[in-house]
Structure 1
């Protein structure tokens, strides 16, 4: 592992010097030096070059660096399975057979192993992260839409009114942050050991919550034969300005991770997922479609100043997201208040049961 990552750093130096992330061009320059200096096999040298190029492609203005305990990439030439409890791995001294411990949940999936695997070292244990193919279910014939509004106070609210509150989540995160701050200010050996135990706890907590939320969303969509409509939040943080005290709360939750979890769970279940422009969904009335900031007297409450309709703000936004699925290709911009606005909206965006959507 140390030799492999040292080779990656060597390749990164040459890639940054030559300003190229082309694997073929770099291999011509570094292949033989890697073999000689780091005693790597031919295929392991190729994997080191590939790993470095993938990292350098992300941002060519920065030279990537690799930790000595960074992951080692194994493909089918470097690794072979000898049953469900034994794997053969290539090392500097040749191949070794290593016993593998697999939990009952993952054991039935190992007959579908495909592609490469990553060997990682974490907290004194080696883990082999393998890729498996999971067959996708046939796509359902949707008869409805479940819109999902994402936020901070409520992580997610769907158009049926179900809320996934963020209050308890924020309490846990604040508790972890305060404990970390106290331990860092203490600085004793015991505090440092405690900090090491806390490492990654918030990330694991976030991942677990996003898994639970996405699982419930997909299950509900499948049971009701519905499409899941999510907001396209790409780049939304670039235009967001908040106070320094609110930055951690506004920017640290993994909405993109939640989106990824929904995507792959929906693909397995055969549930279609679509994305819509979130502009003005929180200011628009789901009944008369009047758009105004005055429709939100408070963060939690929606009250239309035009028709008088009121309700939970996040649920109204989720219903607007669901309603836009059928009309998104025809009309993307907002319809502002005016005499002809509701009629124009209904003409250009038919009700949900009239929609014709290419999913």
Structure 2
């Protein structure tokens, strides 16, 4: 399985200037290559490279291998754009977002990340140093810091390219490691997990992993940001820059903790993990104006990705199921109706009279069951049918 390891570089002032100049040169060259690809319509690497290779080397000061990496970066960007258009992520044909994306070349920021292969970058994991090509020449002995586990993973399993990233005044390298993953075991049952906004995750065991702490933090950060923006002073702008990504880091840390709890529980009890396939939910769900911020700040995709890779490393199988009506269906009698969901927290079946929390499985009441238990039932049926690799999504 592929794992990305991030290490923080500690370059000297001269080394930092050389790295910054290298990113600028690579991204300016990438913008030139992107314009050529857009004007000519040639977006395949084998066809585009002969058109721009010599000019990229002569005019932008890149050596042979970085020039090749720049062309590959542009081709990958256009491939990603085509995939997003095909998947409908940029809207329908003729829409404003899609028309804007299709009417101009892909543009790269001057400090955008740049990939380096083993000809441009070499690692000394035991010495915690790297050697990297720059426009100022080869820089050797750039120190980096990381955990012992990360250093061991880089030394033993690193493969392919490494990305040089400049973020918030710091330099990082992202290394791709291919580590062996255990084969998934045959689960005795599934642990149903219902994802939500008020309760980030609720399991069929009745564990409610609440998002109240994160919600309070976001509310406080929104108030602080609005207050600083209203001041319009230099010190307020410095403060805004300092806290720009703090909320994102807090939410990411929360998702890491929740995903670890879910995977650990499933591994300890020899069960698989059942999740909803929420692809495209933001396009399907209609929210009031005052609720849109909560909906679009809901990092369910990130939580699902964290659960997936942690489960793969632990050998725990993950099953995705159709999310339709999981919160409206009674897990006792299977009666489904929108009036069964009384409010956000309460479920009351109109057919059998069962009442319960709308999300959890209600293990204290054997006949009670909510969305997470329905997800568990659907995942178990999908596993028995052998369709776990073909998840369905609500239209």
Q: 1:270-349, aligned counterparts within 5 Å?
A: 270-315=315-360, 316-328=370-382
> How big is the shift at 1:12?
1.3
Bigger relative CO (Cα 8 Å, ≥ 6 apart):
2
Q: 1:38-53, aligned counterparts within 5 Å?
A: 38-53=60-75
Q: Is 1:92 aligned with 2:135?
A: yes
The CA deviation string for residues 114-166 of structure 1, in whole angstroms up to 9 with x for no partner, is 11101112233221111122321232221011111111111110111111112
What stretches of structure 1 of length at least 5 have no aligned partner?
Answer: 330-354
Give the superposed CA RMSD.
1.6
What stretches of structure 2 of length at least 5 have no aligned partner?
Answer: 1-22, 83-101, 361-369, 389-395
Whole-Å separation in 2 of the counterparts to 1:261 and 1:69: 27
Asked if 2 retains the 8 angstrom alpha-carbon contact of 1:31 and 1:46, the reply is yes
Q: 1:214-253, aligned counterparts within 5 Å?
A: 214-253=259-298
Whole-Å separation in 2 of the counterparts to 1:83 and 1:186: 47
Relative to the length of structure 1, the TM-score reads 0.89
2:49 alignment partner, one of 24, 27, 50: 27
Worse-matched range after superposition: 294-303 or 282-291: 294-303
Worse-matched range after superposition: 107-116 or 32-41: 107-116
> How big is the shift at 1:105?
4.1
Q: 1:80-159, aligned counterparts within 5 Å?
A: 80-84=122-126, 85-97=128-140, 98-111=142-155, 112-159=157-204
Question: Which 4+ residue blocks in structure 1 deviate beyond 6 angstroms?
Answer: none
Whole-Å separation in 1 of the counterparts to 2:339 and 2:106: 49
Question: How many residues are aligned here?
Answer: 334
Whole-Å separation in 1 of the counterparts to 2:234 and 2:122: 43
SS of match in other structure, 1:257? helix
Asked if 2 retains the 8 angstrom alpha-carbon contact of 1:184 and 1:192, the reply is yes
Worse-matched range after superposition: 236-245 or 15-24: 15-24
Whole-Å separation in 2 of the counterparts to 1:261 and 1:113: 20
> How big is the shift at 1:356?
5.3
Asked if 2 retains the 8 angstrom alpha-carbon contact of 1:119 and 1:127, the reply is yes
